[in-house]
Amino acid sequence: MNSHTFAPMIDHATIERILDAAEISDVVSDFVTLRKRGVNQLGLCPFHNEKTPSFTVSPAKGIFKCFGCGKGGNSVNFIMEHENLNYPEALKYLARKYHIDIVEQEETEDQKQQKDDRESMMIVSSFAQKFFTRYLWKENEGRTIGLSYFRERSFRDDILKKFEVGFAPDGKTPFTEAAQKEGYKIDFLEKTGLTIKRDDWQRDRFAGRVMFPIHNLAGRVIAFGGRILKEDKKIAKYLNSPESEIYHKSKVLYGIFQAKREISKTEKCYLVEGYTDVLSMHQAGIENVVASSGTALTVDQIRLIRRFTPNITIIYDGDEAGIKASLRGIDLVLEEGMNVKVLLLPKGEDPDSFAKKMGASGYLEYIQKNETDFIQFKTHLLLKSTENDPVAKARLISDVIHSISVIPDTIIRSVYIKECSNLLDVDEKVLYAEVRKQKTKQNDDFRKKEFREKSKTVAPKPDLPLVKASDFSIEELEFLRFLLKHCKARLFEEEDENPNETEVLSVGEFMIQELENDDLVSENPLFKKIFYEVRDNLDNEKFDSWKHFVNHPDGEISQLATNLLSEKYVESKRWSKAGAFTEQEEDILDILIPKIINRYKFRKIKIMQAEIEKAINVASDVKDYDTVFDLLSTITNLKKVEKELAEKLDSRAFN
């Protein structure tokens, strides 16, 4: 979708207010835990998997840049990429965050049609949440059945409202009919799983259930979990939304939106199983808690937690059969480099009941005294089933060693091997040999997987293409960087037409003039867009080239500007070797700018010569000697210019 599609609906003054309010650190920290690193902030990139942070936020510049995957931009670009929104939708998201009113014209039917499926499904889900929540509090059926259930479980009103729980009316299609009456299409009701449709037959998926909305990191409702209140063994107790364009259960954790700030603050995340476990712990005052919602823990869920903390405690309710079934999944936590602990609650208790019984202080005290590292927990748990069976014990050792072998940190691995040696009474050398064997197999498997992945071709997102440095020559990148960074800086004073008067020439004016006068503007489409947009704004006193292009509605331009203004993005080795950056750029612009322009011209002329030489060969082949002589004359003139530029640059490095 073109980023300009809906732009006219938001006036320029409002866009400026949004951009001024949207402080990059504040926006990004809703999704990524940032740590101060000098003048910048550092975190794990949310756009690709990494264990060493390379995602940098520059509060001073108002931009983010990942030096791992290359993505970068301003606050709007971040929201566009993270939430898969177009430009105006991202602006609206930020306007809501900062309580900025947007006055829009009424959408036409054509404009409504242009909204993509994903956004339509989000809107339908939001309507459903509001409908279910209102029904719980306002309708007789909701209060007598749904609210009574929560009252019996001793949940306070503030907790119920915090998680926006609700009730779906019983019956065949009361919700579907209400949604259609409000103008929501059956296609999107079906795609979100709120309505089940078979030919001419349809019904509400969640009829008669208390509803737990599932939010994404940004707080938007993407799915639901529903609990039936009838005693009917033929009907599933809990029912979740099906997989959809907006909901992938393996990538979502219930309660992450409500917990993310507290997780970052406490440097700890508690993982429980169900919706009410999360609600009860919040009610007890423990807010850094999320639930896997009954699914086996996945790599994507673990990485979601790791963006906010490396420390996780998994809380179990004492069902050993269930714990054993989940052990294999927890190896993934270790493999992702997380510090994982396990807590077994007293017999007969679950996180929900225990939170109500103990309260925050009692619960936290119990956790502190009873949580144990995963390896120790696993060893003690499995030892119970081995008794005096040497074969079973050998399997146990192999199982535990596999868990240790996936830990990426060598020192932590060695500590666990020592602990395992003591617990199982096995020589450390034997355990080290087994770990090496496991690591070799894992490395082989990884290489095979990596080879398969590299064989696949992944198409880039059309809305936010990744602008690569390889799309430009180094001279073009240097030219653009200095043009954007120093556009309004004073460069030279020239004599005016009036005697005894001088005219101040800015960097931007000089760079634009030099290329236009010699007709050497690059043919690269993005270069041309930026070049001519700067030219058209040279007389605009309010024009801030840095801010203008970083906040540009064209995603490609915004990303390129961010890349150019990011530290370390483009610094020619030739400049560094020559010592050109031993002083501040701002102090020697009168030296740098002419050199940059001449370097650019030199490269452009070399390209032109190569093209003319090809044309000469073509003309010679067809015996068009007039054209050959004209082209030879042109190339002779170009070589003269090339020689002059080389003398100015005083370098043979460009020949």
Please indicate, yes or no, if residue 152 is contained in any of the structural domains.
yes
- Which of the four pLDDT bands, split at 50, 70 and 90, describes residue 329? low
User: Could you give the percent of the chain with pLDDT greater than 90?
Assistant: 21
DSSP label at residue 462: S
Residue 2 has a pLDDT of: 39
> Is the overall model pTM greater than 0.85, yes or no?
no
Same domain, 135 and 281: no
- Identify the CATH number of the domain in which residue 159 sits: 3.90.980.10
Q: In whole angstroms, what is the distance from residue 397 CA to residue 434 CA?
A: 9
DSSP label at residue 293: T
Domain boundary among 193, 221, 247: 247
Q: What is the mean pLDDT of residues 210-237?
A: 89
Q: What six digits make up the tokens of 464?
A: 């936010």
Same domain, 192 and 66: no
Same domain, 200 and 340: no
Q: What is the mean pLDDT of residues 173-184?
A: 94
Q: What six digits make up the tokens of 517?
A: 């006068």
Q: Which residue, 115, 146, 109, is CA-closest to 131?
A: 146
Same domain, 84 and 181: no
Residue 385 has a pLDDT of: 66
Q: Which residue, 27, 38, 37, is CA-closest to 74?
A: 27
Bridge-partner residues for 549, per DSSP? Answer: none
Sheet holding 238-240, edge to edge: 166-167, 209-215, 221-228, 238-240
Q: What is the mean pLDDT of residues 571-591?
A: 56
Q: In whole angstroms, what is the distance from residue 122 CA to residue 211 CA?
A: 17
Inter-axis angle of helices 351-370 and 275-283, to 10 degrees?
A: 70
Same domain, 101 and 166: no
Residue with tokens 């004209």: 630
Residue 332 has a pLDDT of: 83
For 276-287, the DSSP string reads HHHHHHHHTT--
Please indicate, yes or no, if residue 359 is contained in any of the structural domains.
yes
Residue 373 has a pLDDT of: 83
pLDDT in tens, 618-653: 877 777 777 777 788 777 888 888 888 887 776 444
Polymer length of the chain: 655
Residue 494 has a pLDDT of: 59
The three-class DSSP label of residue 218 is coil
Distance (Å) of CA 302 to CA 256, 403, 411, 414, 573: 12, 16, 22, 23, 40
Please indicate, yes or no, if residue 655 is contained in any of the structural domains.
no
User: The domain containing residue 229 runs over which residues?
Assistant: 116-247
- Which of the four pLDDT bands, split at 50, 70 and 90, describes residue 328? low
Same domain, 233 and 96: no
Among 177-181, 255-259, 415-419, which stretch is predicted with the lowest mean pLDDT? 415-419
Q: In whole angstroms, what is the distance from residue 645 CA to residue 212 CA?
A: 70
Q: In whole angstroms, what is the distance from residue 292 CA to residue 312 CA?
A: 13
Bridge-partner residues for 221, per DSSP? Answer: 215
Please indicate, yes or no, if residue 654 is contained in any of the structural domains.
no
Please indicate, yes or no, if residue 575 is contained in any of the structural domains.
no
Please indicate, yes or no, if residue 547 is contained in any of the structural domains.
yes
DSSP label at residue 142: I
CB atoms within 10 A of CB 527: 20
Amino acid at 273: E
Same domain, 294 and 198: no
206: left (phi over 0), alpha (psi -120 to 50) or beta: alpha
Q: In whole angstroms, what is the distance from residue 363 CA to residue 372 CA?
A: 15
Return phi, psi of residue 654, to 5°.
Answer: -100, -5
> Distance of alpha carbon 9 from its chain centroid, rounded?
27
Q: What six digits make up the tokens of 507?
A: 């960097």
Domain boundary among 185, 220, 247: 247
∠270-274-275 over CA atoms, to 5°? 100
> Distance of alpha carbon 344 from its chain centroid, rounded?
34
Q: In whole angstroms, what is the distance from residue 624 CA to residue 16 CA?
A: 58
- Which of the four pLDDT bands, split at 50, 70 and 90, describes residue 250? confident
| Whether the Cβ atoms of residue 141 and residue 167 lie closer than 8 Å to each other | yes
Domain boundary among 247, 272, 302: 247
Among 98-112, 313-327, 500-514, which stretch is predicted with the lowest mean pLDDT? 98-112
pLDDT at 387 > cutoff 70: no
pLDDT in tens, 528-561: 899 999 988 888 888 888 888 888 888 888 888 8
Please indicate, yes or no, if residue 576 is contained in any of the structural domains.
no
For 598-626, the DSSP string reads HHHHHHHHHHHHHHHHHHHHHHHHTT-HH
Same domain, 398 and 272: yes
| Whether the Cβ atoms of residue 239 and residue 209 lie closer than 8 Å to each other | yes
pLDDT in tens, 364-375: 888 888 888 877
List, in sequence order, the alpha helices (H) in 506-588. Answer: 507-517, 525-536, 545-550, 555-565, 573-578
Same domain, 209 and 306: no
- Identify the CATH number of the domain in which residue 313 sits: 3.40.1360.10
Same domain, 518 and 600: yes
Q: What six digits make up the tokens of 152?
A: 């019996």
Same domain, 365 and 417: yes
pLDDT in tens, 126-157: 999 999 999 999 999 999 999 999 999 999 99
- Identify the CATH number of the domain in which residue 60 sits: 3.90.580.10
Q: Which H or E run contains 366?
A: helix 351-370
- Which of the four pLDDT bands, split at 50, 70 and 90, describes residue 499? low
pLDDT at 469 > cutoff 70: no
Domain count, the chain: 4
Residue 491 has a pLDDT of: 80
Same domain, 272 and 239: no
For 17-39, the DSSP string reads HHHHH--HHHHHTTTS--EEETT
Please indicate, yes or no, if residue 458 is contained in any of the structural domains.
no
